[in-house]
Structure 1
Amino acid sequence: MNIFALNIALAVAWAALTGNFTLGGLAVGFVLGSGALYLAKPLFPGCDLYFLRGWRWVKLCVLFLYELVVSSIAVVWDVITPSTKARPGVIAMPLDVEDEMAILLVTNLISLTPGTLSLDVTDDRKTLFIHAMFADDPDAIRAQLKGGMERWVKEAME
């Protein structure tokens, strides 16, 4: 049986038992169902992969929020100070992810981060062009994005 579907069923059952069919009630049921499934891992063969994938998605969200805050502070600081440190430029970044959904997620996360914008992906889906607000060192930006967002997405999509 699909572990995710079982977790959803446990969340709905929890909401039915408590009479709280709201998003919050379903979320509490989902978390409690996850805990119950975690305790019952030996009974379900594919359960380890389910929890590993869930952990990777949580990690991706938390690390993206951290990057969002840090880059927002950098952009705001550059805007409010009299001297500008922005040296915009376009950077070509080779892509390791191959799946269309993974490429879409990487490009959207980069575009959502202040100071960077995904411009285009080549037809062969091997290179992503990025506009960066602080492009003094393109190699450092490439390394940061590849070691950060792209690697996190690749781990979450496995």
Structure 2
Amino acid sequence: MRLFIWNIMLALAWVSLTGNFSGSGMLTGFAFGYLMLAFVTRMSGETRSYTRKIPQVVGFTLFYIWEIIRSNVRVAYEVLTPTHYMKPGVIGLPLDSDSDAVISLLANLITMTPGTLSLDVSNDRRMLFIHAMYIDDEEALRRDLKDLERRVIELLS
């Protein structure tokens, strides 16, 4: 957390030194501050999770945006065509983590993705029940959802 605050302070210093008081100026300052902090922590021999988390967050964000785009296209196609290809149903997804943060984030990400909805978590927090519009291949859907769960666990660990 300390390095994140330093990164914000470096970004603010960048903005005030360049005189570019805009979102792009702040983003540029944040990027340069991050690179500087990564260089300093590497040269000092410290291994900080902060400098490893930012690329992970960016990668996860890009992955999730791609998943939302794919789902939106599929649902839009379903709405715009006269033939329905839906095979809705409810599946149970076995969970690898019993952390409240992981389960909450995973359930919310699944719900925000068009075509899927998190319904409930079992009492022992080992199973997440999900309604999906398209269950063509139940195992393929589970693999995709397990990949999302793995990425969420990595992001929060």
TM-score normalised by structure 1 residue count: 0.89
CA distance in 2, matches of 1:142, 1:113: 15
Residue aligning to 1:70: 70
1:93 aligns with 2:100: no
Map of 2:44 onto structure 1: 43
Deviates more, 1:110-119 or 1:8-17: 8-17
Gaps of 5+ in 1: none
Tell me which amino acid in the other structure corresponds to 1:75.
V
Q: Runs in 1 of length 4+ with deviation above 6 angstroms?
A: none
How far apart, CA to CA, are the structure 2 residues paired with 1:97 and 1:26?
36
The root-mean-square deviation of aligned C-alpha atoms, in Å, is 1.8
- Partners of 2:70 and 2:99 lie apart in 1 by 28
In 1, the alpha carbon distance for the partners of 2:24 and 2:151 equals 28
Unaligned runs of 5+ in 2: none
Any conservation in 2 of the 1:3–1:46 contact (CA below 8 Å)? no
Amino acid at match of 1:64: Y
Q: Which structure is richer in relative contact order (CA contacts within 8 A, separation 6 or more)? A: 1
Counterpart in the other structure of 1:140: 140
C-alpha offsets along residues 29-58 of structure 1, whole Å, 9 cap, x if unaligned? 1111011122222126133x2222111111
Match status 1:150 vs 2:149 = yes
Cα 1:15/1:44, change in 2 over 3 Å? farther
In structure 2, the partner of 1:131 is 131
Match of 1:54 in 2: 54
> Per the alignment, in what secondary structure is the counterpart of residue 35 of structure 2?
helix
Aligned length: 156
Q: Percent identity?
A: 42
SS of alignment partner, residue 125 of structure 2:
coil
Contact 2:94 2:126 in 1 (8 A): yes
**SS across alignment from 1:120:** strand
Residue aligned with 2:130, SS: strand
